[in-house]
Amino acid sequence: MTEDVLKDAEERMKKAIEVLHRDLLTIRTGRASPALIDRMNVEYYGTPMPLNQLATISAPEPRLLVVQPWDKGALPVIEKALQKSEMGFNPSNDGQVIRIPVPQLTEERRREMVKMVKHKVEDSRVAMRNVRRDGLHALKEMENEKMISEDDHKRAGEKLDQMVHKYTLEAERTGDTKEAEVMEV
């Protein structure tokens, strides 16, 4: 009984960490990475689509991204979406591909990126606390329905707290690593 609640909580916490990793990939560091624009939404024939479903994205050089759309008619739409993004890109279109020079980050922009990293880590922590709350609620209901004893409820609650602590530390370590990457000149 309590094992099911703990197993579900751990799976949800692992997913929160995976989401954090994915989100941190979209935050710019000093290097060009296709993950920066991979999931950027582009309005294509009236439907928002992730860029990776419209084009091939590559990073042939450390400071250059190349977007090669499968449909050449999508070039202007993709270029416009890249210009409107908050990434600060200035793409150039040669009729075949879009080249995006990735500029060096200024100190001010680096600090903004660090704030974004901290915000994403905090979102991850909140998600884990919500998982713990849901788990504790499920355990309390089990205890109220006499499915588990008060001692089982207390032990499972302690395991849940340890799990939250473990995954919160992992989220913080991931965030610290990303912050160091962003601040690296």
Question: Which tokens belong to 178?
Answer: 């990303």
Q: Are residues 115 and 175 in the same domain?
A: yes
Contact at 8 Å (CB) between 124 and 19? yes
Q: What is the CB neighbour count within 10 angstroms for residue 13?
A: 24
CA distance 55 to 39: 11
Cβ-count burial 53-72 (b if 16+ within 10 Å, e if not): ebbebebeeeeebbbebeee
Confidence of residue 19 (pLDDT cuts 50, 70, 90): very high
Quick one: average pLDDT of 63-79?
Answer: 87
Task: Write down the pLDDT at residue 185.
Answer: 64
Confidence of residue 74 (pLDDT cuts 50, 70, 90): confident
Pairing of strands 64-69, 47-50: unpaired
Using the 3D structure, point to which of 42, 68, 101 is the last residue of a domain.
Answer: 101
Q: Are residues 123 and 91 in the same domain?
A: no
Q: Are residues 153 and 171 in the same domain?
A: yes
Give per-residue pLDDT as tens, 35-64. Answer: 878 778 888 888 888 888 888 888 888 888
Q: Are residues 147 and 96 in the same domain?
A: no
Q: Where are the extended beta strands (E) located within 1-114? A: 41-44, 47-50, 55-61, 64-69, 92-93, 98-101
Contact at 8 Å (CB) between 94 and 79? no
Q: Per the structure, how many domains does the chain have?
A: 2
Task: Write down the pLDDT at residue 16.
Answer: 94
Q: Provide the CATH number for the domain around residue 149.
A: 1.10.132.20
CA distance 143 to 1: 11
Task: Write down the pLDDT at residue 7.
Answer: 93
CA distance 97 to 62: 18
Quick one: average pLDDT of 125-134?
Answer: 94
Q: Are residues 140 and 161 in the same domain?
A: yes
Q: Are residues 66 and 126 in the same domain?
A: no
pTM of the predicted model, to two decimals? 0.73
Identify which has the larger pLDDT, 31 or 111: 111
* Residue 134 pLDDT exceeds 90: yes
Q: Are residues 21 and 73 in the same domain?
A: no
Q: Provide the CATH number for the domain around residue 48.
A: 3.30.1360.40
